[in-house]
Amino acid sequence: MSAAVLSAPHSIAIEPLEVPLLESDQVLVRVAAVGVCGSDVHYYEHGRIGPYVVNNPLVLGHELSGRIEAVGENVDPARIGERVAVEPQKPCRVCEQCKAGRYNLCPRMEFFATPPIDGAFSEFVAIQSDFAFAIPDSVSDEAAALMEPLSVGIWANKRAEVGPGSRVLIAGAGPIGVILAQTARAFGASEVFVTDIDEGRREIASRFGATRVLNPRVDAVEGLEVDAFIDATGAPSAVRAGISAVRPAGRVILVGLGADDVEIPISVIQNKEIWLSGVFRYANTWPLAIELVRSGKVNLDDLVTATFGLADAERALTIGREPGQLKAVVYPGR
């Protein structure tokens, strides 16, 4: 099969790789669409994210959909031909975290496009059968691929305890911020404030879930007294400002990747008894993600602003810098 292989920062080539061999509980998926994530871009530009270093050639891409082409010996052959959205990870299922239902925290997790595990900028991938979720005909290949970032939005909103009537502040109107806003509204939030320094992205957020958009350079968020603040920027200034906007006993959820260390207002957190948590991927989110899209409560199709064949995967990783771009999608079969 063909795959787009990252061999060094800013160096991707289309190379022939062996089609994955199936374990007994796996399915072989012919990849239909792959969304480009910020982590893919970071590996492309820097060759690492924190402790995860690209020491050997790596296939990027972990937001994917496709069709089942073959199954392992313990999988029902009736699944062949199904269109699926893929949860791109393989937990061990037996460690303490997995048994507690927190398999996203499995210390032996094998996650697509995280060194040394190859991702989905390729014609085929193998995944455990129960992590390949059948999708209805009404859901496009693109939307099925973007169930992965939607799962981040679901997991973050759940941890923020967003529900009917909640008031939520989201920092950042990139793809994740926009999905967070849509998910908050789908969960019943009555007010969703979204901040971003870019006017174009604020306009996009206003069309996708935000009830009010703010420019953090001129609009203060302190004193909003929201029930939850979710950061999708990783910017220290955004994190600090967002914490000051939370009501007593409210929640702060950190999603964005930024500096390893950030100064935060400890006295504010203590005096208001604010609950603060990070987010690391997700667990058990795909069924809800599929239903939110099927029902029309979340719109993923309109987030796609550029599409590419596999040969142009490198271009897909760089187009996000251009004005008006939100989400690029690669089609390995093209």
- Alpha-carbon distance values, 330 to 63, 80, 123 (Å): 10, 23, 11
pTM score of the predicted model: 0.96
pLDDT for 50: 85
Residue 97, C-beta contacts closer than 8 angstroms, at least 6 positions apart = 103, 105, 106, 107
pLDDT for 206: 97
Burial class for 148, CB neighbours closer than 10 Å (0-12, 13-18, 19+): buried
> Length of the chain in residues, anyone?
334
Burial class for 76, CB neighbours closer than 10 Å (0-12, 13-18, 19+): exposed
Q: Work out the number of other CB atoms within 10 angstroms of the CB of residue 327.
A: 25
Average pLDDT over residues 67-73: 98
Please say whether the structural domain 2-146+300-331 has been given the CATH code 1.10.3720.10: no
Handedness of CA 23, 26, 28, 31 (dihedral sign): negative
pLDDT for 230: 98
How sure is the predictor about 75, in pLDDT bands with cuts at 50, 70 and 90? very high
How sure is the predictor about 125, in pLDDT bands with cuts at 50, 70 and 90? very high
Higher pLDDT residue, 257 or 25? 25
The answer to whether residue 273 scores a pLDDT higher than 90 is yes
Collapsing DSSP states into helix, strand and coil, what is residue 145? helix
Residue pLDDT, tens place only, 178-211 = 999 999 999 999 999 999 999 999 999 999 999 9
CB–CB of 66/86 below 8 Å?
A: yes
| Side-chain-facing half-sphere of 37: CA atoms under 13 Å | 30
CB–CB of 290/154 below 8 Å?
A: no
- Alpha-carbon distance values, 37 to 9, 26, 60, 174, 205 (Å): 16, 25, 9, 11, 18
H or E segment at 329?
A: strand 327-331
Q: What angle do CA 33, 76, 102 make, to 5 degrees?
A: 65
Cα–Cα distance between 332 and 102 in angstroms, integer? 32
Q: Which of 115-119, 127-131, 260-264 has the lowest mean pLDDT?
A: 260-264
- pLDDT > 70: what percent of the chain? 100
Domain ranges of the chain: 2-146+300-331, 152-278
How sure is the predictor about 321, in pLDDT bands with cuts at 50, 70 and 90? confident
CATH architecture assignment, domain 152-278:
3-Layer(aba) Sandwich (3.40)
